[in-house]
C-alpha cells in the first residue's frame, strides 16, 4: 500500500512543532515501509517555507532537509494533469489549491493513504483516503500497516 506524506508530517519529523508531535512523526516515518512512501513535490516546497519562515532555520539547513527527504522517498511532480485534478478538487470540494495539489499528486502516485493533519479526516477521493496520523485513534488502514511492521 502506497502512502503519501503531507508537509506537517515532515515538518514535525524535522523538529518543527510541539515535542509530542515531533516525536510521533519521527517514530511514524521510521516505521513506514520506505519503498511505499511517496512525497508530492509540492510538500518539499512547503517544507522549505515552514523551516525557513516558521522554524527559523537557515536556507542552507532547509535545503539540506529537502534534499534528504527527496533522496529518501519517491517523488510525484506537479504535472499539468495533477494541476487540473487539483483545480477540480477546489471547485468540487472547496479545498485550497495547495492542499488539492498534494492530494491530486498522491492520487497520481497510486497512494491509498495521505497522512495529513490539515485535511478532513476520512475524506476519500479517487481511492485515496486522508487520515491524521496524530489523532488519538488512527485510521484502520494506517494502524494495520504499522502493526504489520
**pLDDT tier at 79, thresholds 50, 70, 90:** very high
Answering whether pTM is above 0.75, one says yes
pLDDT of residue 149: 66
- Looking at every residue in the chain, the average pLDDT score rounds to 95
22 vs 77: CA distance, rounded Å: 26
In this prediction, residues 16-31 reach a mean pLDDT of: 95
- What confidence tens digit (pLDDT) does each residue in 50-60 have? 999 999 999 99
**pLDDT tier at 65, thresholds 50, 70, 90:** very high
- What confidence tens digit (pLDDT) does each residue in 88-136 have? 999 999 999 999 999 999 999 999 999 999 899 999 999 999 999 999 8
33 vs 145: CA distance, rounded Å: 9
pLDDT > 90: percent of the chain: 91
- Rounded to the nearest angstrom, the gap between the alpha carbon of residue 149 and the centroid of all alpha carbons in its chain is 20
Torsion of CA 69, 72, 74, 78, to 10 degrees: 10
Please, what are the domains in the chain? 3-147 (3.40.50.1010)
User: Please, what is the angle between helix 59-72 and helix 41-49, to 10°?
Assistant: 160
Asked whether the predicted pLDDT for residue 145 surpasses 90, the reply is no
Amino acid at each position: 500500500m502506497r502512502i503519501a506524506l503531507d508537509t506537517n508530517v515532515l515538518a514535525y519529523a524535522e523538529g518543527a512543532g510541539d515535542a509530542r508531535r515531533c516525536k510521533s512523526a519521527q517514530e511514524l516515518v521510521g516505521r513506514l515501509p520506505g519503498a511505499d512512501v511517496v512525497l508530492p513535490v509540492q510538500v518539499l516546497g512547503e517544507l522549505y517555507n515552514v523551516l525557513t519562515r516558521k522554524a527559523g532555520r537557515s536556507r542552507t539547513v532547509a535545503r539540506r532537509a529537502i534534499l534528504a527527504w527527496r533522496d529518501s522517498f519517491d517523488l510525484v511532480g506537479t504535472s499539468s494533469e495533477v494541476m487540473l485534478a487539483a483545480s477540480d478538487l477546489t471547485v468540487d470540494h472547496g479545498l485550497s489549491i495547495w492542499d488539492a495539489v498534494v492530494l491530486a499528486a498522491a492520487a497520481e502516485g497510486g497512494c491509498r493513504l495521505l497522512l495529513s493533519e490539515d485535511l478532513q479526516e476520512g475524506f476519500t477521493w479517487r481511492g485515496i483516503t486522508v487520515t491524521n496520523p496524530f489523532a488519538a485513534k488512527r485510521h484502520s488502514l494506517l494502524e494495520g500497516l504499522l502493526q504489520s511492521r
